[in-house]
Amino acid sequence: MKKTVQKLMNLETEIIIGNILRAGVISAATVVSVGGIIYLFRHGQTQMDYSVFRRQPPEFSTVDGIIRQVFSGRGRGMIQLGLLFLIATPIARVAFSVFAFARQRDRLYVAVTLAVLTILIYSLIGR
């Protein structure tokens, strides 16, 4: 009986993780596509000069700046937001795994997964 319950919990966890990954990728692709359409609609005829390297504007370097650009209707902000969704997808998967392992009372996997989550978050916000 106990092994049957464990197998059901594992199957349920796998389904939820699959749904998290699917939703993250679909939402990221949708937001990037909408941002790309907006960007091309507004800037599709602009001639680009690739002889000089231009850095990304600073407003696209922070989450706060990206969100401000999205609310102002800029396509590049939408594209950047979609990329943030894409980056957040595996982080959400790891965060869910912590709770799934805790529910299964597997302390070793909780500790390892928390370490991985800590490394992921530090690599994003640490400098």
Residue 39 lies in a domain: yes
Give the model's confidence band at 9: pLDDT under 50 very low, under 70 low, under 90 confident, else very high.
confident
DSSP for residue 61: S
Residue 50 lies in a domain: no
Residue 51 lies in a domain: no
Considering its fold, how many domains does the chain have in total?
Answer: 1
pLDDT digits (tens, 9 = 90+) for 43-90: 777 887 778 887 778 887 788 888 998 998 888 899 999 999 999 999
Task: Assess whether pLDDT exceeds 80 at residue 115.
Answer: yes
Domain range enclosing 21? 2-44+56-125
What is residue 127's predicted lDDT score, i.e. its pLDDT? 58
Residue 67 lies in a domain: yes
Distance CA 42, CA 81 (A): 18
Distance CA 112, CA 4 (A): 25
* Tokens 């602009």 belong to residue: 46
Residue 49 lies in a domain: no
Distance CA 127, CA 107 (A): 30
Q: Is-above-0.95 flag for pTM?
A: no
- Separation in Å, CA 30 to CA 79, 83, 86: 10, 11, 11
